[in-house]
Every structure is written in C-alpha cells, then in structure tokens.
Amino acid sequence: MDLISTPSESGQLSVETSLLIHADSSQCYSPSNKESWKSLVFKTIKEIEDFYGNYAYNIGFSVRTMLKSKNNSQNKKSDKVHYVCYVCNKQGFKKGSLLNSNNMPTSDSPVVIEFVKVKEKPEERVGCKAGIYLKLDKVFNVYKIYRWDVAHCHPLHKLEHLCYLRSFREVNEVQGQLALINSKAGMSMRTSYEVMGQGVGGT
C-alpha cells in the first residue's frame, strides 16, 4: 500500500494526508475494526470496485452496486461521483417477499390468500446488511470509507463455487458453447450456470 502525500503551502507534508493509505486491490484485506480501514483511500471508482470485489471473492459473496451518486453534500449535481455504495448481492428484500417482516400479516384473524401457481424461484435477497460506503474527499480528491458493514446473515460460498457467482462469472469457450446450446433448447442462462455448477460439484 502506498502513502498518499500532498505538499502543504510551506513545502512540508501534511500530517493528516501522510496518514492516508492508498489501498492495494491485489491484497486480500480483512477489516477487523474501524481503525483498520478508516485511513484507506482510493483514487478512482475502478480501484474501489477492484478492492471490494477482491475482498468479496476471498470471503465468499457476490457484490451489487447499490449507489453511485454525482450529487455532492449540498445535493447538487456535479461532474464527478461523490458517493458510492457496494453491497452483498443478498442485501435487502425482493418486493413483496415474505422474508421481509414488513410484508407479514399483522392481524390475528384468519387471512384468506388466493394462491396462483407460478414458477418457483429461490429468494436471492434475504435482508443481508453487508456493504461498503464511500464518499469523495474534495480536498485530497480521493474516496474515503465512512461505513463498512462486515457481518452477513447467510452462509458464504465455498471457494470452488465462486466462479458461478454473478460478480465473478467466467466461462471458457466450451462452457459458452454449452450455454448457447442450452439457450436454443429453451433453458435459461441461470439454469445453464446451475447445471455447470453441478458438473463441478457446485450447488
């Protein structure tokens, strides 16, 4: 990791700036407490994505972009991203999901529900709160972490299954051809990935 240093007007290095550490996305980073990450800074959005993506891959979860706003602290539009947030792909709940306690019936009286036969889909979002939040420091022109929620409310994926997560999907030529054949046969891309995952011992 590199130290971020900016000369002050007197030619001396700013004490506050010299304490900032340029995060290295090639290293596996594990935040133990706020003191361990509050000095990390990033020069670009790409650096943030690489850093958190590498962290997520090593921990075992998929990442989703929740916020990328160009509104500054005065809520005025600018030409540069001021706030970014990346979360676990299982963050929040799908609209109408019964996993969300807000959608559960509150009355003690019997509730009549009309069931409609639909194709079952597994719930992807289970209310996980894990995510990383950053904002632009306009003085030093770098992004700083101001919140990092580490805990997940669901099991994390094993290393051998990570290549099938949405954030890290990579297919070789043979797998690509297989997915194309499956698609022509009416199989969805999601199902194709599940089949390929089963083929290598995935779930």
What are the tens digits of pLDDT across the range 150-202? 989 888 878 777 666 766 666 666 767 777 887 888 888 777 766 766 555 44
pLDDT band at 116 (very low <50, low <70, confident <90, very high): low
pLDDT of residue 124: 75
Claim to verify: residue 121 and residue 201 sit in the same structural domain: no
Claim to verify: residue 198 and residue 120 sit in the same structural domain: no
Best mean pLDDT range from 28-37, 80-89, 184-193: 80-89
pLDDT of residue 72: 78
pLDDT of residue 170: 62
Can you spell out the DSSP letters for 33-62? SHHHHTTEEESSHHHHHHHHHHHHHHHT--
pLDDT of residue 86: 94
Mean pLDDT over residues 15-23, rounded? 54
22 membership: H or E segment, kind and range? strand 21-22
Please check whether residue 42 lies inside any domain of the structure.
Answer: yes
Higher pLDDT, 113 or 68: 68
Claim to verify: residue 152 and residue 175 sit in the same structural domain: no
pLDDT at 28 exceeding the cut of 70: no
- Provide the number of structural domains found in the chain: 2
Claim to verify: residue 150 and residue 183 sit in the same structural domain: no
Please check whether residue 162 lies inside any domain of the structure.
Answer: no
Please give the Cα distance from 174 to 188 (Å, whole number). Answer: 17
Closest to 150 (Cα-Cα) out of 134, 126, 129, 166: 129
Where residue 166 falls (left for φ over 0; alpha for ψ -120 to 50; beta otherwise) is: alpha
DSSP state of 161: G
Q: In which domain, by residue range, is 183 found?
A: 171-203
Claim to verify: residue 57 and residue 151 sit in the same structural domain: yes
Claim to verify: residue 198 and residue 148 sit in the same structural domain: no
**pLDDT per residue as tens digits for the range 34-73:** 767 888 899 999 999 999 988 988 888 888 888 888 887 7
Claim to verify: residue 176 and residue 151 sit in the same structural domain: no
- Who's near 168: CB < 8 A, 6+ residues apart? 53, 57, 62, 162
pLDDT at 122 exceeding the cut of 60: yes
Please check whether residue 70 lies inside any domain of the structure.
Answer: yes
Q: Give the end-to-end CA distance of the chain in Å, rounded to a whole number.
A: 37
Claim to verify: residue 134 and residue 46 sit in the same structural domain: yes
Claim to verify: residue 187 and residue 101 sit in the same structural domain: no
The three-class DSSP label of residue 67 is strand
Please check whether residue 161 lies inside any domain of the structure.
Answer: no
Closest to 37 (Cα-Cα) out of 51, 50, 54: 51
Claim to verify: residue 7 and residue 103 sit in the same structural domain: yes
Claim to verify: residue 184 and residue 127 sit in the same structural domain: no
Claim to verify: residue 88 and residue 146 sit in the same structural domain: yes
